[in-house]
Amino acid sequence: MTTRQDCLALDAQDPLAPLREQFELPDGVTYLDGNSLGVLPRTAAARVADVVTREWGQDLIRSWNTAGWIDMPQRIGNKIARLIGAGENEVVVADSTSVNLFKVLTAALNLQRTDAPQRKVIVSERHNFPTDLYIAESLARERGLVLRLVEPDEIPAHLDDDLAVLMLTHVNYRTGRMHDMPALTRQAQEAGALVIWDLAHSAGAVPVDLNAAGADFAVGCGYKYLNGGPGAPAFAWAHRSHTEVMDAEQLWQPLSGWLGHAAPFEFTPDYRPAAGVNRFICGTPPVISMAALECGVDTMLAAQPLGGMTALRRKSIALTDTFIALVEQRCAGHGLTLQTPRDASIRGSQVSFAREEGGYAIMQALIARGVIGDFRAPDILRFGFTPLYVRFIDVWNSVEHLAQVLDGGEWREARFNQRAAVT
């Protein structure tokens, strides 16, 4: 049985412990929601202030050139690339995850219509994050395609001659279950399909190697494990075989805005897509948000001399293993059912428990005690473990609070049972 002393000892031996110094963590808070909104990097406030007061305030429009504003989508994209097994100039930062998914899914469907017009099915996971499903549903409706939603174990059975695109989120937002990216990519491509991965809960959370897996497209989120701040811009990746070999007609994405043009400042009336992944850019980059995101991505890159994603993954597994074991010891008999795989090799960096009754209120009671996770309807208590800043003592303390909330029935209080707009 893990003790409080064990947790303190694990922290004392943790080679990644110094990385926590990069963040502004409020006193009295145990933050287990970095999978939903990452913590503020220490550098971000000063960096954003400098962008506002000096780059914008003093240098004004000259900053597009002098401060490198115009290159931010590529510069930050190249930093993210190092976290997801992508190459130089293969990732751009732009728009939101939803919008990027629309772009890459349309591009993939366009490729398939050219090559294989008979393929009419998009397969995804029934419990994929809703925005992904809504975007796919809308595209399927527009193009007379079928969106087929299946359980994770059923996916291989649906990789057949009808399949146009397999569109999956690598780590599921509810359960934290992680798909086998290389295997599913290979199987889907052998069936003649293209594969899109949403890395919203993977980038900065688990090792990802898009090029080794040979995936076709990927998108991901800036404000979760990348610590980019609320509503941070997202990213998009496309395999080089699509962006280099295919001509503009074939790799066509519909949000053909001017900054995805080959020469935006020639102001020609006709659209000519930029080279490579740059054609996935649409409009002007949100510079202030991009500056904050870059600070967040830099906190991830700071882990590279300490072992990078491999070391972060080792710690993430140790944190989630410890949390699962402690909850099952300390909170037994309280109706919590583990939703996250026990097998760490298919687990992301979060742990979820379902409870038939009171899940929302239990999370509110925890938050009132300074332990911040979140609730996902209808019944999931979700705890994210960001190895950059979560300590083993945080795991211990959060389970202590959870046990107290459950033992004392504190969550039944009326104040914990009023739903806010964001859960």
φ/ψ of 196, rounded to 5, equals -115, 130
Active site residue 224: yes
Catalytic residue list contains 120: no
* Nearest to ligand PLP of 97, 106 (CB atom): 97
- Residues engaged in binding ligand PLP (CB under 6 A): 96-98, 129, 131-132, 169, 173, 198, 200-201, 221, 234
Catalytic residue, from 224, 279, 315, 355: name it.
Answer: 224
φ and ψ of 193, to 5 deg: -95, 165
223 is in an annotated binding site: yes
- Give the CA dihedral 69, 75, 76, 77, nearest 10 degrees: 130
List the structure tokens of 135.
């975007």
322 marked as binding residue: no
Between 132 and 394, CB nearer to ligand PLP: 132
Task: Answer yes or no: is 97 a known binding residue.
Answer: yes
DSSP string covering 142-159: HHT-EEEEE-GGGGGGG-
299 contacts: CB under 8 Å, gap ≥ 6: 19, 22, 23, 41, 227, 388
Q: Which three-class secondary structure state does DSSP give residue 12?
A: helix
Shortest reach from residue 314's CB to ligand PLP, in Å: 24
Identity of the residue, 63 or 202, whose beta carbon is nearer to ligand PLP in the bound complex: 202
Smallest separation (angstroms) from ligand PLP to the CB of 152 = 14
Q: How far apart are the first and last CA of the chain?
A: 33
Q: Could you give the 3-state DSSP secondary structure of residue 240?
A: helix
Task: Please tell me whether 138 is known to bind a ligand.
Answer: no
- Residue 15 assigned as binding residue: no
Minimum CB separation of residue 191 from ligand PLP in Å reads 23
Kindly name the residue from 223, 353, 383, 385 that is annotated as catalytic.
223
Q: 256: annotated binding-site residue?
A: no
Catalytic residue among 23, 31, 102, 129: 129
Q: Which amino acid is at 354?
A: A
In the complex, the smallest distance separating the C-beta of residue 410 from ligand PLP, rounded to whole angstroms, is: 30
CA 135 distance to own-chain centroid? 17
Candidates 216, 382, 391, 394; catalytic one: 382
Judge whether 382 counts as a catalytic residue.
yes
Q: Do 76 and 293 contact (CB within 8 A), yes or no?
A: yes
Tell me the residue length of the chain. Answer: 423
Integer Cα distance of 393 and 4 in angstroms: 7
Among residues 313, 308, 300, 326, the alpha carbon closest in space to that of 392 is found at: 326
CB of 106 to ligand PLP, least distance (A): 15
- Annotated binding-site residues read 97-98, 129-132, 169, 198, 201, 223, 258, 284
List residues with catalytic annotation.
Answer: 129, 198, 223-224, 382
- Annotated binding-site residues for pyridoxal 5'-phosphate read 97-98, 129-132, 169, 198, 201, 223, 258, 284
